[in-house]
Structure 1
Amino acid sequence: MPFTLITGATNARAHQLKQTLGDKILLGDYRELPAFMIEAGKMLQLPHPSSASYAHQMLTLCLDKGVVAVFPLEQQEAVLLAEAAQLFNEFNIVLHLPDDL
């Protein structure tokens, strides 16, 4: 089942975007999330962008969870994913990057 991942789950903007996109949306964040939200499958704990292998960790997560599109709402995440765009393209994962990169 294909999913869309929105990062920055602790941000109201992520929830607003989720409302506009509809079903099959996963919210995730690298910041600490409530354990009950993760355990219930409502949110994903994402790798921290300071990790040297951030893009590869995100790609693995996307492949494991059936994610076909990513909306990185945090600037640092967007920059790192933009650098790895070709890798995500090879796996048919669409990165919805901000225009100001």
Structure 2
Amino acid sequence: MTVLITAAASAGAHKLKNKLNAWQILLGDHADLPDFMVKNMGLLKLPNPSSASYQHEMLTLCLDRGIEAVYALNTQEFEQLRQSELLFKEYNIDIIDGQTQL
């Protein structure tokens, strides 16, 4: 199973990564990340949740990367994704409030 944890620049993302038992865990953030973190650590640059097309951009990213679950640690991200939860479910992608998992 491939999962995505948002807010990769936060300590909570790394704490959650250590708690999850998944085949592949991807970390991503919409905040500006230094190039070395993106290149060397494999962090993903995520769309900004204030974007009008945020849900569709995230769905595309999930489909392209084979992501089956998104743990949204940022409240704004979670609220945006929750509004499109039915669309994500159609593609077997779970939207999970990452804050409740910490």
CA distance in structure 1 between the partners assigned to 2:28 and 2:67 by the alignment: 12
* Identity between Structure 1 and Structure 2 (%): 49
- Number of aligned residue pairs: give it: 98
* Deviation (angstroms), 1:36: 1.9
* Deviation (angstroms), 1:40: 3.4
Q: Does residue 14 of structure 2 align to residue 15 of structure 1? A: yes
CA distance in structure 1 between the partners assigned to 2:62 and 2:94 by the alignment: 11
Q: Superposition pairs for residues 54-69 of structure 1, below 5 Å?
A: 54-69=54-69
CA distance in structure 2 between the partners assigned to 1:9 and 1:39 by the alignment: 14
CA distance in structure 1 between the partners assigned to 2:73 and 2:38 by the alignment: 19
Q: Which runs of 5+ in 1 are unaligned?
A: none
Provide the aligned C-alpha RMSD in A.
1.5
Partner of residue 90, structure 2? 90
Q: Superposition pairs for residues 62-77 of structure 1, below 5 Å?
A: 62-77=62-77
TM-score by length of 1: 0.90
Question: Aligned with 2:61: secondary structure?
Answer: helix
Residues 34-87 of structure 1: CA distance to partner in whole angstroms, max 9, x if unpaired? 212222362100000110000000000001111000000000000000000000
Residues 4-55 of structure 1: CA distance to partner in whole angstroms, max 9, x if unpaired? 0000001100000000114410000000112122223621000001100000
Partner of residue 35, structure 2? 35
TM-score by length of 2: 0.89
- Larger mean Cα displacement after TM superposition, 33-42 or 84-93: 33-42
Q: Which runs of 5+ in 2 are unaligned?
A: none
Partner of residue 80, structure 2? 80
CA distance in structure 1 between the partners assigned to 2:82 and 2:37 by the alignment: 28
